[in-house]
A and B are shown apart, each in its own frame.
Chain A
Amino acid sequence: MSGKEYRTITDVKGPLVFLNKTEPVSFGEIVQLRLSDGSMKNGQVLDTSDDQVIVQVFEGTASVDRQTGVKFLGDVFKLPVSKGLIGRILDGAGRPRDGGPEIVADEMADIIGAAINPYSRQSPESFIQTGISAIDACTSLVRGQKLPIFSASGLPHNDIALQIARQAKLVGSDDDFVVVFCAMGITAEEYNFFVHDLERTGALENAALFVNLADDPAVERLITPRLALTAAEYLAFEHDYHVLVIYTDMTNYCESLRQIGAAREEVPGRRGYPGYMYTDLAMLYERAGLVKGKKGSITQFPILTMPGDDITHPIPDLSGYITEGQIVISRELHQKGIYPPINVLPSLSRLMNAGIGPGKTREDHKSVSDQLYAAYAQGRELRGLVAIVGEDALNERDLQLLKFADIFENQFLRQSRDEDRPINEGTLDLAWDLLSNIDTKYLVRLDQKWIDKYHPTDSKDSEEE
């Protein structure tokens, strides 16, 4: 491109600028706008034809007028990547925010990211111990997984994400995670909370931060996660790092997507979100995984706040169809004062079975997890019944299950913010201890051989006999 500057803006609508009579401009090309006061804005081509070009402006269109100069840079959006990204804080468009120098690029990486050939992927199967019992036992995380936290406003999802970032490790391995943190439209307060915590624990030196705050341009949020994931891919697949990507808050991202859709007068899908939101989200979430022949990996922890605590809202709903499970934070548990308030019942890890069992965690893990689920689910259901008919109407089995639900919440779920429970001696043994409050004949999900081997009282009984 000749670096020609056009002054042919015809329309400005929300974050979009429409231009006439340009030379051929390519789809996805990066655009620079020079305002009459000399300040600069950046944008990207959304639609291009011989007659008209539509540009979305990342910083918003305030002060743009028909005299604004528009320059097409002849290339799609790229991020300078190098190992120097680690330890840096960048803004939502990839510029240094920490006062440090520009990133010296080893390579310029296209931020859209190509799809990984499904045939070239490697199945994720290395168990990650988070030290949080609810997750480790019931929704086990594996390396290369994308496991979102479905939360809602006022709940401690940030604490949980940070605790995971701090404690996550592979059992029996020294490999550390590099954290890529991506903030989209969070408040300065939340941001400070993250940064202080990462600083306090020394994790900041091992992290790259991409930050778009609540008062930063909303449209910029559409590229922030792409920058973060591009950095993650580079670190994972060029430098063999195991990367943990935390992004928050996906709900703000989707709002921006809707904003652009509305400005383009697209036909809206559910609740006004664009029909292509599924594909768009997939292009972020699917950038997790492991690739044959490369040592690194990308594990994703997207955080999203469900509007109105509604899990059927399009944002959690479409996310749930793409991600490999979800960790659901419960307001009810939070109000009972339980931390972490993870409701294991709707939570799920689809890759759990590949990551647990003999040689990975322990042979009884699957059975124990199933039993915990079943007993807790029935116990919770009985609470509803007791509210109507009282405890007297319950039989022995139901009473035990009812009691177990409380025990489970107070002793298994509950742990402190810096308590790091090892999976076998911590989480699973604790589970057996708690399950021993229920008669073994009601523990139908447990194989007899595991009962013989691990049940604390049952094995004692047999010794006495």
Chain B
Amino acid sequence: MSKENGLIYRISGPVVTAIGIAPRMYEVVRVGHEGLMGEVIELHGDQSVIQVYEETSGIKPGEPVVRTGQTLSVQLGPGLLTQIYDGIQRPLPKLEETMGVFITRGVDADGLDLEKKWEFNATVKKGDEISSGQVIGTVQETETIEHRVMAPPNAGGKVKSIKSGTFNITQPVCTLEDGTEIAMMQEWPVRSPRPFVQKYAPDVPLITGQRILDFLFPLAKGGTAGIPGPFGSGKTVTQQQLAKWSDAQIVVYIGCGERGNEMTEVLDEFPHLIDPNTNKPLMNRTVMIANTSNMPVAAREASVYTGITIAEYFRDMGYNVALMADSTSRWAEAMREISSRLEEMPGEEGYPAYLSSRLAEFYERAGRVRTLAGDDGSVSVIGAVSPPGGDISEPVSQGTLRIVKVFWGLDAGLARQRHFPAINWLSSYSLYPQALDQWYRDNIASDFPEVRTDISTLLQIEAELQEIVQLVGSDALPVDQQLTLEVARMIREFFLQQNAFHDVDTFSDLGLQYHMARAILSFQEEAKKAIAGGAQLEDVVNVPARTDLMRGRFEKGYDERINELVTEMGQQIAASMEAN
């Protein structure tokens, strides 16, 4: 087999063609004297086309190309959490140590610390029959998360020996009768989904604390959501809010082709954030992948696969995982860039013809499943899309919308009015409410779905009325319709708007959301009664208790006071009737 070593034939940006080797598709190869990491993406006669994950300037034809025999894989095991990786699972702090603040090239770094010792507690014993994917022991990886060490794929049989104690992740902790040794670390090729037993229908909501999302357009655990929006409409803030507040146990955050400063903000801020569910630092449950827009484009292409493989790994332990990818458009553009270097026949707008199937494959890796170990775990995927010019008729948005079940449509107009989150309540949708309604009835309030319908109906009616107002002004409307407008305004300003940067307002639990929605409806009811009894609309709208109710949401302990404020508002509205 002299087909292990070859030579570079051609270099064009991140795409290198090699001759003299016969690698497999998607095999990782080392390119040039510096041993740059690359992946085989096309075979063409004697030529192998390689996408290189590092900058290629200065490399010459004739330099060596060496096969590794492996496909692009990630290392999975204790040490993933709190880590910050680039697109090919090189830890960024490690890169800083070896290369300084600028990322140069030719440096290899393990995804996991191979030396670090962990306290392993065996949960099976000698003589037990284990199968692939089964949990054989645990490691307290961070304060909040217990890492469940699983038998790797294709390993199974009777346990010959297993020991608890302190080990690094490559030392075998368990030996099977057939001689297989199992260590805490396993590797998995990023482009293949990890196996599971069965996919379930999603029927539990992923609670995010964001009112418009949870209440009007909920996402289920194991579901998929797309957030398309023009720049400046708050995509990134929305993603970050989800990463901070969603009730998933593990969060994988992929900054794909992101701004460097924004990524830094996330990296700086996350370690200081406290998980509202556990009161421990949020980082304890987070894995970050940061591949900024100026880092090599091929690594950007790989970053979403690296991320979802890590997410699946935690899912297999029985955790609920939320994965945010910001932005999938940059990923698609990376595909386009590489495809154009390959001189492939382009599809729509220069994107490769396989764009939509790649998007579908990626989102299909989400789901709530029964794991090989017999537990329930889920991966929810939330992908941001950055459509050029905010026009969602473009291929990436369309390819995404065909697959995802939830659409959170960001709106530049709302962002300009500083209505945040700038999610358009008329164009957004969620296909999950039906599946989730029973859960809401059982866990929050028996009339939760009805309240939601009332609120969204009001918003619909408002949209219709606004068209008339645009023509004739609001004073020309009958008073009951003017009231409807006021109620809808209250929904928008009090309920849908939520300040991500405000300590209190940034998160509302479902119970509070329900009470806030009820408060709006009870305002409507009381106001209707009062107006029928002769009160002036203006007096009703301007009762001080209503202002207190609305401003109160910025204060701590609001959930305890809200009902009191609603009662007070009711009394004042009733009084405004008597005053007339």
| Per-residue contact bits, chain B 7-42, to A (CB 8 Å; 1 contact, 0 not) | 001111100010000000000000000000000000
A123→B259 CA distance, assembly (Å): 12
A354→B554 CA distance, assembly (Å): 20
A27 near B58: Cβ-Cβ < 8 Å: yes
A124 near B333: Cβ-Cβ < 8 Å: no
Q: Report A221 CB to chain B, min CB distance, Å.
A: 19
Given A27-B57, A47-B11 in contact, is the A275-B336 Cβ separation under 8 Å? yes
| Per-residue contact bits, chain A 319-362, to B (CB 8 Å; 1 contact, 0 not) | 01111111000000000000000000110101101100000000
B104 near A114: Cβ-Cβ < 8 Å: yes
Instruction: Return chain A residues, CB-CB under 8 Å to B56.
Output: 27-28
B388 near A270: Cβ-Cβ < 8 Å: yes
A50 near B11: Cβ-Cβ < 8 Å: no
Instruction: Return chain A residues, CB-CB under 8 Å to B262.
Output: 324, 350
Q: A94 in the interface, Cβ–Cβ < 8 Å?
A: no
* Chain A: CB-nearest residue to B335: A275
Contact of B416 among A76, A123, A124, A377 (CB under 8 A): A377
Q: A309 in the interface, Cβ–Cβ < 8 Å?
A: no
Q: A2 in the interface, Cβ–Cβ < 8 Å?
A: no
Q: Report B41 CB to chain A, min CB distance, Å.
A: 16
Q: Report A314 CB to chain B, min CB distance, Å.
A: 7
Q: A269 in the interface, Cβ–Cβ < 8 Å?
A: yes
B60 near A286: Cβ-Cβ < 8 Å: no
B58 near A29: Cβ-Cβ < 8 Å: yes
Q: A437 in the interface, Cβ–Cβ < 8 Å?
A: no
Q: A256 in the interface, Cβ–Cβ < 8 Å?
A: no
Given A116-B102, A275-B336, A292-B101 in contact, is the A348-B10 Cβ separation under 8 Å? no
A120→B91 CA distance, assembly (Å): 12
Given A122-B264, A276-B297, A289-B260 in contact, is the A393-B102 Cβ separation under 8 Å? no
A321 near B101: Cβ-Cβ < 8 Å: no
Instruction: Return chain B residues, CB-CB under 8 Å to A317.
Output: 231, 388-389
Report A250-276 residues with CB < 8 Å from chain B CB.
266-270, 274-276
Main secondary structure of the interface of A (DSSP, over half): mixed
* Chain B: CB-nearest residue to A237: B101
| Per-residue contact bits, chain B 283-302, to A (CB 8 Å; 1 contact, 0 not) | 00000001011110100000
Contact of A50 among B10, B259, B418 (CB under 8 A): B10
Given A266-B340, A282-B294 in contact, is the A49-B58 Cβ separation under 8 Å? no
A20→B337 CA distance, assembly (Å): 26
Instruction: Return chain B residues, CB-CB under 8 Å to A26.
Output: 11, 57-60
Q: B534 in the interface, Cβ–Cβ < 8 Å?
A: no
Report A223-239 residues with CB < 8 Å from chain B CB.
237
B388 near A118: Cβ-Cβ < 8 Å: no
Instruction: Return chain A residues, CB-CB under 8 Å to B386.
Output: 321
A312 near B388: Cβ-Cβ < 8 Å: yes
Instruction: Return chain A residues, CB-CB under 8 Å to B472.
Output: 389, 393
Instruction: Return chain A residues, CB-CB under 8 Å to B542.
Output: 441
A116→B260 CA distance, assembly (Å): 8
A385→B390 CA distance, assembly (Å): 26
Report A5-55 residues with CB < 8 Å from chain B CB.
24-29, 46-50
Q: B139 in the interface, Cβ–Cβ < 8 Å?
A: no
Report B458-499 residues with CB < 8 Å from chain A CB.
470-476, 493
Instruction: Return chain A residues, CB-CB under 8 Å to B63.
Output: 24
A320→B415 CA distance, assembly (Å): 15
* Chain B: CB-nearest residue to A313: B389
Contact of B340 among A25, A276, A370 (CB under 8 A): A276
Contact of B92 among A46, A119, A288 (CB under 8 A): A119
A323→B61 CA distance, assembly (Å): 36
A385→B466 CA distance, assembly (Å): 12
Instruction: Return chain B residues, CB-CB under 8 Å to A292.
Output: 101
* Chain A: CB-nearest residue to B474: A395
Size bin of chain B's contact surface: 35 or more
B418 near A49: Cβ-Cβ < 8 Å: no
A323→B470 CA distance, assembly (Å): 35
Q: B267 in the interface, Cβ–Cβ < 8 Å?
A: yes
Q: A121 in the interface, Cβ–Cβ < 8 Å?
A: yes
A389→B477 CA distance, assembly (Å): 14
* Chain B: CB-nearest residue to A49: B10
Q: B451 in the interface, Cβ–Cβ < 8 Å?
A: no
Report B256-273 residues with CB < 8 Å from chain A CB.
257, 259-265, 267-268
Report A280-329 residues with CB < 8 Å from chain B CB.
282-283, 285-289, 291-294, 311-314, 317-318, 320-326
B264 near A118: Cβ-Cβ < 8 Å: yes
Instruction: Return chain B residues, CB-CB under 8 Å to A322.
Output: 259, 293
A118 near B231: Cβ-Cβ < 8 Å: no
Q: A278 in the interface, Cβ–Cβ < 8 Å?
A: yes
* Chain B: CB-nearest residue to A29: B58
Given A124-B261, A320-B232, A385-B473 in contact, is the A115-B337 Cβ separation under 8 Å? no
B267 near A118: Cβ-Cβ < 8 Å: yes
B391 near A312: Cβ-Cβ < 8 Å: yes
B416 near A345: Cβ-Cβ < 8 Å: yes
B58 near A76: Cβ-Cβ < 8 Å: yes
Instruction: Return chain B residues, CB-CB under 8 Å to A113.
Output: 102
Q: A388 in the interface, Cβ–Cβ < 8 Å?
A: yes
Instruction: Return chain A residues, CB-CB under 8 Å to B412.
Output: 346
Report A138-191 residues with CB < 8 Å from chain B CB.
144-145
Instruction: Return chain B residues, CB-CB under 8 Å to A289.
Output: 260-261, 264
Q: B417 in the interface, Cβ–Cβ < 8 Å?
A: yes
Among B59, B61, B297, the most chain A Cβ lie within 10 Å of the Cβ of B61
Q: A279 in the interface, Cβ–Cβ < 8 Å?
A: yes
Given A116-B102, A116-B103 in contact, is the A318-B388 Cβ separation under 8 Å? yes
A48→B17 CA distance, assembly (Å): 10
Q: A195 in the interface, Cβ–Cβ < 8 Å?
A: no
| Per-residue contact bits, chain B 227-252, to A (CB 8 Å; 1 contact, 0 not) | 00011100000000000000000000
A278 near B84: Cβ-Cβ < 8 Å: no
Contact of A120 among B17, B101, B334 (CB under 8 A): B101
Among A275, A378, A444, the most chain B Cβ lie within 10 Å of the Cβ of A275
10 contacts between A and B (CB under 8 A): A25-B60, A118-B260, A118-B292, A119-B96, A120-B100, A285-B293, A377-B417, A378-B417, A393-B472, A393-B475
Query: Which 7 pairs between the two chains have the least Cβ-Cβ distance?
Result: A312-B389, A28-B57, A49-B10, A282-B293, A393-B473, A119-B92, A286-B294
- New A-B contacts (7) at CB < 8 Å, excluding given A24-B62, A48-B12, A278-B257: A26-B60, A29-B58, A275-B337, A314-B388, A321-B231, A322-B259, A373-B417
